[in-house]
Amino acid sequence: MKSIELNNEKVSIGKIVCVGRNYVAHAEELGNEVPEFPIIFLKPASVLIGQGEKIIHPSYSNDMQHEVELVLAIGETVKDADDKAAADSIAGYAVGLDMTLRDIQSELKRKGHPWTLAKVFDTSAAVSEFVSKENYELTGNEKIMLSVNGEPRQNSTLNKMIFSPVDIVKYISGKMTLEKGDLIFTGTPEGVGKVSRGDRIKAEIENIGILTVDVI
């Protein structure tokens, strides 16, 4: 896709910053400690797809897993943000998928290597259309859900996040400048699981959007 529509404006996608282990129950289901600071990794814009596109299952993994996440769109340059600057820099929200090769990730973790090849492959990130913050103020009570072929897999609420959207923007902007068109994937709740070719994934955040994609 390479660009998103935000407030009726076409915006080029910059970097995609992702947060790992941002829900306690998900950190625990993978046997990880609950983190003291957000765990950060990046995906390039070239891997991102939108509604109607397909996730291509890599041949070199036997365990591609779904992770449904709230996605933030950054609307202005922000560095070393305080609470207000962080809140002001968030321009919109979408529901997204952070596709993960869990078998590759386990191998990389065991060797102490970066997660890159478990998280970065073509079609490894997907987003719905964006809702402008001017049109919708997040309450935290929104449900975040994912089903595969109609079977419920993930079901939580956004207020179960360990680090809030403002916390996350503050933290990331203290390490790297965030710019208009950057996207932030804010982590997934518990219930992650394997998908296979032929599966249909439906990801949804109440009042934000629905994203349906097929795996091929």
Rounded Cα–Cα distance for residues 54 and 36 (Å):
35
Give the interface size with Mg ion as a residue count (CB under 5 A).
3
Contact flags string 64-83 toward Mg ion, x per CB under 5 A: ---x----------------
Q: Tell me whether residue 7 or residue 68 sits nearer to Mg ion (CB atom).
A: 68
Helix (H) or strand (E) holding 189: none
Closest separation between CB of residue 80 and Mg ion, Å?
Answer: 25
User: Which residues is 70 bridged to in the sheet?
Assistant: 95
Q: Tell me whether residue 24 or residue 85 sits nearer to Mg ion (CB atom).
A: 24
Give which of 73, 61, 145 is closest to 99, Cα–Cα. Answer: 61
Residue in 61, 154, 186, 188 binding Mg ion, rule: CB under 5 A: 188
Q: Tell me whether residue 41 or residue 207 sits nearer to Mg ion (CB atom).
A: 41
142 binds Mg ion (CB under 5 A): no
Residue in 66, 86, 98, 162 binding Mg ion, rule: CB under 5 A: 98
Closest separation between CB of residue 192 and Mg ion, Å?
Answer: 8
Rounded Cα–Cα distance for residues 118 and 104 (Å):
5
Closest separation between CB of residue 74 and Mg ion, Å?
Answer: 18
The CB-side HSE value for 20 (13 A sphere, CA atoms) comes to 19
Q: Is 101 helix (H, G, I), strand (E, B) or coil?
A: strand
Q: Tell me whether residue 119 or residue 202 sits nearer to Mg ion (CB atom).
A: 119
Q: Hey, what are 131's tokens?
A: 């809702």
Backbone angles phi, psi at 144, to 5 degrees: -125, 125
Closest separation between CB of residue 151 and Mg ion, Å?
Answer: 20
168 binds Mg ion (CB under 5 A): no
Stretch that binds Mg ion, among 31-39, 93-101, 107-115, 146-154 (CB under 5 A): 93-101
Backbone angles phi, psi at 19, to 5 degrees: -105, 135
Cβ burial of 24 (10 Å; 0-12, 13-18, 19+) is middle
Binding site for Mg ion (CB under 5 A): 67, 98, 188
